[in-house]
A and B are shown apart, each in its own frame.
Chain A
Amino acid sequence: MRTGTAARVGQYTALFGYLVFLAFPFLWLISTALKPPRELGSLHPTWIPRDPTLDNFRQAFDEQPLLRAASNSLIAAAGAAVIAVLIAAPMAYVMARHRTLLARAAGGWVVVSQAFPFVLVIIPLFLVLKNLRLINSVPGLVMVYVVWALPFALWMLVGYVRAVPAELEEAAAVDGAGRLRTLVSVTAPLMAPGLAATALFAFVTAWNEFFFALVLLKTPEKQTLPVILTHFIGAEGVADLGPLAAAAFLATLPSLVVFAVLQRRITGGMLAGAVKN
């Protein structure tokens, strides 16, 4: 299709406008993180710091237990990702290969859980975890994140199982391999990239999660990064802008890296799914 010059100009203007809208808060975050207090107090803020400094980063670590929080986040997110994928994969396999009532019910639950009313779940969950003495504990949070990650882990994995031709499994069975043997030596290796993508996605969602962490974790030494970040904002909403920006920027880095790695898979996977549906 030919597109006129005027239309092209319009398209590029729109694209440029979009990129600006997308980028400017993020650039501002970085700019703020690099400014010394004197520039932050200035009444006429500038985009590019005149006197860039890394002091805010050091100060951020002094003000709040960021390392501790990062390690809590890492444990919670990695733990949830690994456990969720390990227990979801077998169920996804059954859902993908067999049309049973159970598989259908699980599929329905996956859809409904997207609309999950968190208020309705968090209060009973809080009471249950309290009775199990798992309030204010990272393992308690991992349990919650696992269940929270399961719907989309199942959803993603069912797609990946179906991408593995059943003929391969049947061939292995003909060759005399048992069910478990077939799963472990034929299906699992073919699904490895899918398992990794699902785990990384679960990792990012758990790393970013705030609501459950806020409710379940009470003391600073147990809290995850998103919760600790809110401590930079004082009771009256007054914040030490430089360290706040620095800490916020640092907290984003791991998710950005994972998403950069996953980017092709996320868009590619959605595209493939939509096309072949």
Chain B
Amino acid sequence: MRQAAEDPPKRGRERPGPGHGAWFLVLPALIPILVLSVGPLLYGILLAFTDAQSGRTEPTRWIGALNFRDLLQDTLFWESFRIGLVWAVGVTVPQFLLALGLALLLNERLRLRRLARALAIVPWAMPEVVVGIMWRLVYSPDAGILNETLRDVGLGDGRDWLSGLATALPAVIVVGVWAGMPQTTVALLAGLQNTPRELHEAAALDGAGAWRRFRTVTWPALRPIALAITALNFIWNFNAFALVYVLTSGGPGGRTRLPMLFAYEEAFRYGQFGYAAAMGCVMVALISILLAVFLVGRLKGGDDA
């Protein structure tokens, strides 16, 4: 789910205590959060240790770690997990690099800059389902513009990109990059405005080339935002659903079956609530570990970057 990283809270004047009446201000939001968000999360963890199924008449039983043992041996799950990683890295990395280049570009004084910034919002505003449908039309074997363009320039004679075993995942990744780039660009652009222009100009006067200025002035200032947005993008991409559901439904032959699609099928097609909940737990745990490694690594090796 994509959400704007809006204004980081500024330090305003803070008073020591909430005083009376604060509870009355907080409860309207707190109760729904506890009942519909924190509660279900805890309930979900409990469910992972049961044999809960949809539409079954016998009572749900506590089965300990059995779901987790089954998961460890479920090759389909590990396959979807591997695809999820390939997809998340395959989308996040190009997304970041393209967005960085674009943000640097849009930070220059160019004509069309305003237009480009305004247009950058379009993919962000579109429902993911529409993005998926739109790209299906582009990829469509006969009526699609991609194959027609390739034919025009003499490259190949029409492929069914989304149903090809080898092409499906790359084709879906391109869409993921397209869909998420604007938001990353806007965030990085915000970071760029943060880099002190005087430093940049001083470095230029000292004869530093563009690359050196980027490395010594721009990047150090941009790094915190870049790290945060990359970590968030990675999580969002790993948890992606709608785009791929519309593009391929996980096919062909499970080649694009991301973990969320797998979990969705287990839970709502086969009714395996307990098993799917266990899968959710494993996904969260593994993603947290990966992110921790990534963040710790980046923060440690930070000074030379």
**Chain A residues near B (Cβ < 8 Å):** 1, 3, 11-12, 14-15, 18-19, 21-26, 28-29, 31-32, 40-45, 47, 86-88, 90-91, 93-100, 102-103, 106-107, 109, 113-125, 127-128, 143-144, 146-148, 150-152, 154-156, 158-163, 165-167, 179-180, 201, 204-205, 207-211, 214-215, 225-226, 229-230, 232-233, 237, 239, 241, 244-245, 248-249, 251-252, 255-256, 258-260, 263, 266-267, 269-277
What are 16 A-B contacts defined by CB distance under 8 Å? A40-B143, A43-B142, A90-B28, A91-B25, A97-B12, A98-B15, A98-B22, A106-B30, A114-B232, A115-B284, A120-B281, A143-B36, A152-B4, A214-B245, A239-B136, A273-B7
Cβ B14 vs Cβ A23 within 8 A: no
Query: Can you list the 9 inter-chain pairs with the closest CB atoms, starting with the nearest?
Result: A159-B7, A120-B280, A273-B7, A162-B12, A90-B25, A259-B125, A208-B127, A124-B43, A124-B40
CB neighbours of A12 from chain B (8 A) = 110, 112
| Residue B3 lies at the interface, judged by CB distance under 8 Å to chain A | yes
| Residue B217 lies at the interface, judged by CB distance under 8 Å to chain A | no
CB neighbours of B26 from chain A (8 A) = 90-91, 94, 102
Contacting residue for B140 out of A165, A241, A277, CB 8 A: A241
Cβ B191 vs Cβ A96 within 8 A: no
Cβ B121 vs Cβ A259 within 8 A: yes
Complex Cα distance A208/B59, Å? 37
Chain B: CB-nearest residue to A21? B178
Total CB contacts across the A-B interface at under 8 A: 342
CB neighbours of A239 from chain B (8 A) = 136
Q: A22-B120, A159-B9, A226-B130 are in contact. List 8 more A-B contacts (CB 8 A).
A: A24-B138, A87-B29, A90-B28, A113-B37, A147-B36, A166-B13, A215-B268, A270-B6
Chain B: CB-nearest residue to A92? B29
Complex Cα distance A28/B30, Å? 45
Cβ B126 vs Cβ A255 within 8 A: yes
Cβ B190 vs Cβ A26 within 8 A: no
Give the shortest distance, in Å, between A208 (CB) and chain B (any CB): 4
Cβ B276 vs Cβ A119 within 8 A: yes
Q: A44-B148, A226-B127, A259-B124 known; A97 and B14 CB under 8 Å?
A: yes
CB neighbours of A22 from chain B (8 A) = 119-120, 122-123, 178, 182
Give the shortest distance, in Å, between B189 (CB) and chain A (any CB): 7
Cβ B267 vs Cβ A11 within 8 A: no
**Interface 9-residue window, one of B69-77, B81-89, B100-108, B164-172:** B100-108
Cβ A25 vs Cβ B279 within 8 A: no
Complex Cα distance A272/B225, Å? 14
Q: A117-B280, A120-B284, A226-B129 known; A274 and B8 CB under 8 Å?
A: yes
CB neighbours of B131 from chain A (8 A) = 25
CB neighbours of A237 from chain B (8 A) = 163, 249
Complex Cα distance A24/B138, Å? 9
CB neighbours of A128 from chain B (8 A) = 36, 39-40, 43
Chain A: CB-nearest residue to B259? A119
CB neighbours of A93 from chain B (8 A) = 25
CB neighbours of A32 from chain B (8 A) = 137, 143
Cβ B37 vs Cβ A121 within 8 A: yes
Complex Cα distance A151/B83, Å? 29
Cβ B40 vs Cβ A125 within 8 A: yes
Q: A28-B138, A29-B137, A117-B283 known; A41 and B143 CB under 8 Å?
A: yes
Give the shortest distance, in Å, between A17 (CB) and chain B (any CB): 10
Complex Cα distance A183/B107, Å? 39
Cβ B45 vs Cβ A120 within 8 A: yes
Q: A114-B3, A269-B7 known; A179 and B21 CB under 8 Å?
A: yes
Candidate in A31, A45, A88, A165 with the most chain B CB atoms within 10 angstroms: A45
